[in-house]
Structure formats: structure tokens, C-alpha cells
Chain A
Amino acid sequence: MTAVPSLSMTGISKAFPGVRALDGVDFECLPGEVHAICGENGAGKSTLMKILGGSYRPDAGTIHLAGKTVQFTHPRQAAEAGIATIHQELSLLPHRTVADNIFMGREIARHGILDKAAMRERAAALLDRIGAQIDPQALVSSLSIALQQLVEIAKALLLDARILVMDEPTAALDERDSRTLLNLVDGLRGEGVSIVYISHRMPEVTAIADRITILKDGQKIWTRPRDAAPISEIVRAMVGRDLKDFYPSPPASAPGEVLVAITGGTNSGLQDITFDVRAGEIVGVAGLEDSGKGALAQALVGDVPFTGGTVALRGRSIDLRTPRQATAAGIGYLPGDRKREGLALRQSVRDNALLTLRSMTGIFTRPQRGALASAVIDERLRAMDVRAANFGQEIGTLSGGNQQKAIIVRWLAQASDILVFVEPTRGIDIAAKAAIYDTMRRFADAGRGIVVISSDMPELIGIADRVLVMHQGRLSGAVPRGASEEDIMHLALGLAEARHEESGA
């Protein structure tokens, strides 16, 4: 190493009650370097970054910035030392303007009086620098998630940060926006910024990182330059298994009867949606962020229903006006934002698994009867391999993978025929991902159907039997199993309207 690392952390340890989150971890980052950290959930990545950001104090170990020892007790000190963190969960003020948000906590003011004009100008300049076409006066709530992410980055740049920590910055972004973001990261590297990049998306990591560090169970496995770290090695180091048995094998038999058929489905965000889902089939839905794939999920589960067109279940026409009707019809929903839409975080694993069953049953049903009995649901949870000390534990304390499995149990208990998954593995580590894919496959193989809506293209290609692609609220086409990312991208960008290979009845 010739240059002095702008950041060097040595022997960092941190324990929480019952967990050794970090155990003697060393990490460094040079000026103008992108250093990626990979690891399963719970490997200690976020803890390490929270220590760097001043949110946690390490039990042992030292942090040097450009050779100088520092100790942080409040995030403010880290920020003043030139460390900016772009958090996994957005930390914006929805009802305030973009400029207000960029300057949150660092407003330009003289004697306590804000200089709004100066802030508008600086904000515009910053947004310009990152190539974002955003009006500094716009309200944040009016921006898409992708644009909000860019506002977060502008916020970090305001500090003139020498060290930029990006924790899963593309988790909420689709393919196109992710690329824009990676270009931006590349530009910042050129300006000499040290970037610590945390991501679950392997192609991104290998595309952008100069060096890669693997954490597992709070310990560093290795740090290698990118060229010495092919994806297969990274995955093996993270989970101790190879990538090829990551996705379940495709079904042996062809799909069966049509379970659900949508014809001409239309609402304010969707136009003329026609497709069907057959027994034993996993249908993927791809699309860029505003393509309407989220609206499709909401329509299928009756949250924001179709206003035109018909839905037929096993050939019988049905109404899908409310989530209750959808549930009664056997359609289950596994939302992308589990914390907000899927779980009662403060209630037990068992209560969460019973939620739908209890909602659909009569109000005077005895609570411990039949399928509602604790013993019965516990059995199902065990069968799904939901890992908790006991099922009376608050579900919020479980990992994302186990939470997702508990939601799957919920719908299995309801005997749903069709599950609608949205971003099924967002924020879930690789080992749990494989288990969830496996469960999805087994669910379909039992003669039921799955619609999976995802921004993670390798995931769709790996798991789905065919992939429907959306563009501007319409289905722009469909590709069979084995198609390439490029095929899907073509349709998602609306470049191949003519190339319909199949689009249902």
C-alpha cells in the first residue's frame, strides 16, 4: 500500500446481549477506492458501519481517519469528520422540499436565520453534479423512491464527505436507476472519495468494487482485489455453498389447468392486462420502477382493484374489490415492505402466522379450535423451518428470511391457491433466499400458482417459469424460462413492443 488509507478500522469488536456482532474486524479504504462489504444478514456489516457512523460505540478496536485516531459518540461527530452514510432506510422528510432535506441538520444560516436562497442554489448545484433532474423546491413526497435516493446522495455530498458509506443503496431501485447510481459512484471515486459499498447484488459488487471484504458471523473472512474474487468465490465465502444450487430446479411436468385468468384488467395505473396463471407455475413479472408492476400486485390482491376487465378463478368470474375478497378467493399477498404491510412487529410469530386465518373466520369462533390452535400453527411453522427460540417471541426480533417464511405459513394455513410475492427476497440474506425459493417451488409443485413481482432480474430468471414484462402500465411481452436479462430489459424499456411471444388468451 502506497497511499495512506483515508479510513482504517482495526480490531473492531462489538457485542450485544447474547450476540457477538463483531469480533476483531479490520477494514480499510483508500482514497478513490470503492471497497465492497459482502455478507449475509447478521454478518455484522451494518453494525460495522453504524460504528463508523457514530451510532454505536465499539467495545474494542480503533478507527483512524487519514492516520489520525478518532472516537465518535454522536453521528454528528462522524459527519463532521467527513463520513457520510446513505442509509438503507430513507431518512427524508416527506412533507419538506428537496432543498430542506438536503440541508437537514446543516442549514445555511446567519445568527439562526436561514438563508433559503443560498440553500436553493447549493441544492440545485449538488443535484446538477450528480446529474439528477430534480427541482430543489419539489416536495419529497412527490418524488419516486429512486429520486428520493438521489436526494439522499446529494445530502451526503453536501458534507463534502471524504468517506461515503452506501448501505444497500440500490435495494429500492430498479435496473435502470441502479445503473445511474453506479455511474455516480464511479464519478465520486474519480474525485478521490473513499466509498464503502454494501450490497446483496453480486453483479453490482463485481462491477463497481476495487476490493471486496467478506464478513461472516461478525468475523472477516478475507479481503481481496476484485480480480481475485469471482462471484462464485464470494458466495462460497459468504454462505459456504455454490451458486449453482441456489435456485431450485425447474418442474418436471408441464403446468396444469388455468387457476386464474385476468382479461383486459385496467385501472388508473394499468392498461389492458391479460394473462393467466396455471397450476404448478411460477409467473415472474419484471419491469422498471414506474412500469406498473407494483400496481399489478395491488390489483391482484384487491388493494387497488381493477376498474375494468374480468378476473376468472378456475373459469368462474369473480370480484376482486377488497383484500378480503381476494383472500376468500384463495389469493395470498406477500408484500415487499414486510414491516409496513406484512407484519404486526410487536406480536408473536404465532399471532402473525394466524393473522389471515383469524381475520377470515367468524368473530365468535373459539380461538383454540381446529386450525386456530397453537399446536397446529406451531407444527406448520416448524415444517417451514421458521427459526425462533419459541413461537411466542415477537416477530420483529426474527431475521427477514424467517419473517418471510412466517408470512408464507400464514397463507398456507389459509389454504391459498395463488400467492402474489412482491420482492420476495429484498433485504434477505443468501442462505435464507435459497430456502424461500425452495418453498416457492414446492408450493407451485403442489398444484398451486405463484405470481412473483421483482426488481431482481437474476432472481426472476432463476425462479420463474416465464416472465411477463411490464412497460408503462401495460404488458409489453413475456419471455419463457431460460431467457436472458437482455431480453427482459428490451421489453422493459419498451423497445420491442412487437415481439410478443405469448400474452395469454
Chain B
Amino acid sequence: MTTDVVKPKPGLSVAVLLAGLSIGFFVVVALATGETAQLSGQGVTGLLQRMVALGLVAIGQTFVILVGSIDLSVAALISAVAVLASHIMQGDAAMMLPAVLLCLGLCIAVGFVNGALVAYGGINPLIATLGTGLVIQGVLAASFGALQGSVAREFQVVAYGGVLGVPYSLLLLASLSIAAGLVLDRTLFGARIYAVGGNPDGARLAGIRTERVILFAHMVASLFAGAAGLYLAARLQSGTPWIGRDGIYDLESIAVTVIGGTILAGGKGGVAGTLAGVLLFASLDAGFNMLGIDAFLKQVLRGAIVIAAVAVHAVRARGHVA
């Protein structure tokens, strides 16, 4: 992302390595199966577009994991946002802005509840966010009958429109990624996230209001999940209460974050690695499709790759210590 940094950035090298591997895999599979069309500008754009939804969620997930927490409610929140957005718009372009604002407001509220439960309530984040997720999912399933609707045609531009051949959705992912990366690397908020995740007691003694940092990190995670929800609503035209769950965005966002070198204990990692993890998943998907691999086997292979990637990190970490 940046080149003016002199210090060794372990996160970046992991990212570069992963991205290289992913691209290599994609290219080799495309050539081997004769699907060279996949290597054209359009094919590559397609590949990158597969990254958008998971990428957005995973960036948010990176924030909470870095701060030493985790968010399992993102999948339910994605569904809620998609449903809410289509319900408010009812196909009316004039309602786009209110719908987006309301959805983001919902995300802030959910993030606030998650963060408050974890930071001030002292509830284990796995349990707290699992709980909020279940609540959201339940409310959604119960009231979906009353929440029908579809997004405005103009809103679908987010998913299908573009400028100079670059889809808006990719630009959205790219700009939010860069922003998130800069926040983590260059701002006070970022430094505090690393401090709180790396050593909560030390951070507190250094005078950091650790609870507040955790709270904000959760709000960021929820907002990114909301962005993913809006994107999915635009792509699918109308939200259903299951799009988040069906996409396994909760677990996959955690998986790609960890694959990207962010450690679950917090305090180490970053957005670049996470995006590389997302790219890996996207190229695996695309590659498996080209190879015509059956959906169940695909799941198995993905699982194996997640384990392998984390194992590589474990070995690297051990080598570093010794």
C-alpha cells in the first residue's frame, strides 16, 4: 500500500505472499482449463468483484480482532441491513438516502450494543456478539413478512454500475480498504487499537481508555458489515433474512482475517493481510468453478486451506521466537 516505510512490515510480506499465491493459482487454473477468458480484463474484474462483500465484512472484523475482540453478529446484521434497505426503498429512488442513513444508524446501534457488552459489561465477545446476532436473526425471521420490498433500480448501480470499466463496488472496496489501512497505520485511533489488543493492562496503565477503544472498534465492524449488507441488497435487488447466514460471512470474515496474519489474541495484523486472505478465497472459488469441482468438495478444500494457512503462521511465529 505504501512504499515510504523503511521498517520491516511483517504484515505486508504475508499479504504479498498470499496475494501472489492466490493470483498464481488463479492463472494456472485458468490456463490449465483453457478458460483464458478469465484472464482478460473482464475476467479479472469478475474475480475482484467476488471479493467485495466478504472484503467489506472482513475489514471490519479485522478491527475488532486487532483490539482483542471478535464479532459473530455480522452475518445477521448484513441480512438485517439488506432487508431494511429494500423495505424502506420499495423501489423508490427518492428513498435511497434515507434508507442508507437508517441502515448505517442501525449498524452504529448494533456496534454500540456489542461494544458496550464486551467493553463495559465484561462479557466474552464470542458470547456477547453471538447473542446479539441471534436476537437480530430472530427479529428478522419473525417480522420478514412485514418487511418485504426491493431496492430502487438506481441503487443497483452500486453493484452493477461502473466507471471506465471499473465497477463502483470495487472502487468502494478499494477506497474503504485504503481508508481502513490508513486509520490503523497512521492515526491515534489505530495506534490505540494495537495497544489495547496487544496488552490491555499495559494500555490502561498508559492512560488509554481501553473500553472506549473497544467500543469504537465494534462500531467500525458493524458499519463495515452494514456496507456489505447494502452492497448485497443492491446486487440481489431485495434482501432476505438469510443472505448473511448463507454467505457464512461471520466465520469466513474471521477465517480470512486470521489467514491474513492478524492474530486472534489481538495487537498484530492489518488490513493488507486480510484483503489478501479475501483474494485467496475469491481465487479459490473462481478456480474451483473453472475446474468444475463439486460444491461439497469445495467446502472441504476451503477448510483444509484455512487450517494449512494458520499452521503456516504458527510455524513462522515459532521460527521468529527461536
Q: Are A96 and B267 in contact, CB atoms less than 8 angstroms apart? A: yes
Knowing that A91-B199, A109-B187, A137-B7 touch, tell me 17 more A-B residue pairs with CB under 8 angstroms. A55-B205, A74-B209, A75-B206, A76-B207, A91-B202, A92-B199, A94-B198, A96-B194, A100-B194, A104-B191, A104-B202, A105-B195, A106-B206, A112-B189, A113-B186, A137-B6, A155-B206
Q: Are A106 and B7 in contact, CB atoms less than 8 angstroms apart? A: no
Closest to A90 in B: B202
Closest to A87 in B: B205
The size class of the interface chain B forms with chain A is 20 to 34
Which residues in chain A, 108-127, are within 8 Å of chain B measured between CB atoms? 109, 112-114, 116
Q: Cβ of B6: which chain A residues have Cβ within 8 Å of it?
A: 137
A85 beta carbon closer than 8 Å to chain B: yes
Q: Are B194 and A74 in contact, CB atoms less than 8 angstroms apart? A: no
Q: Are B205 and A74 in contact, CB atoms less than 8 angstroms apart? A: no
- Cα–Cα distance between A79 and B189 once the two chains are bound (Å): 20
- Cα–Cα distance between A114 and B188 once the two chains are bound (Å): 6
Q: Are A114 and B191 in contact, CB atoms less than 8 angstroms apart? A: yes
A53 beta carbon closer than 8 Å to chain B: yes
- A235 → B minimal CB distance (Å): 31
Q: Known interface pairs A112-B187, A141-B320. Does A106 touch B201 (Cβ–Cβ under 8 Å)? A: no
A168 beta carbon closer than 8 Å to chain B: no
Q: Cβ of B218: which chain A residues have Cβ within 8 Å of it?
A: none
- A305 → B minimal CB distance (Å): 14
B208 beta carbon closer than 8 Å to chain A: yes
Q: Which residues of B contact A (CB under 8 A)?
A: 6-7, 186-192, 194-195, 198-199, 201-209, 263, 267-268, 320-322
- Cα–Cα distance between A76 and B212 once the two chains are bound (Å): 14
Q: Are B204 and A75 in contact, CB atoms less than 8 angstroms apart? A: yes
Q: Which of B7, B190, B195, B207 has the most CB of A within 10 A?
A: B207
- Cα–Cα distance between A303 and B320 once the two chains are bound (Å): 18
Q: Are B207 and A105 in contact, CB atoms less than 8 angstroms apart? A: yes
Q: Cβ of B321: which chain A residues have Cβ within 8 Å of it?
A: 141
Q: Are B194 and A93 in contact, CB atoms less than 8 angstroms apart? A: yes
Which residues in chain A, 46-79, are within 8 Å of chain B measured between CB atoms? 53, 55, 74-76, 79
A339 beta carbon closer than 8 Å to chain B: no
Closest to B195 in A: A104
Q: Cβ of B199: which chain A residues have Cβ within 8 Å of it?
A: 91-93
Q: Cβ of B189: which chain A residues have Cβ within 8 Å of it?
A: 112
Closest to A91 in B: B202
The list of the 4 closest CB pairs from A to B, nearest first, reads A91-B202, A105-B206, A76-B207, A93-B198
Closest to B192 in A: A105
- Cα–Cα distance between A76 and B186 once the two chains are bound (Å): 23
- Cα–Cα distance between A116 and B4 once the two chains are bound (Å): 12
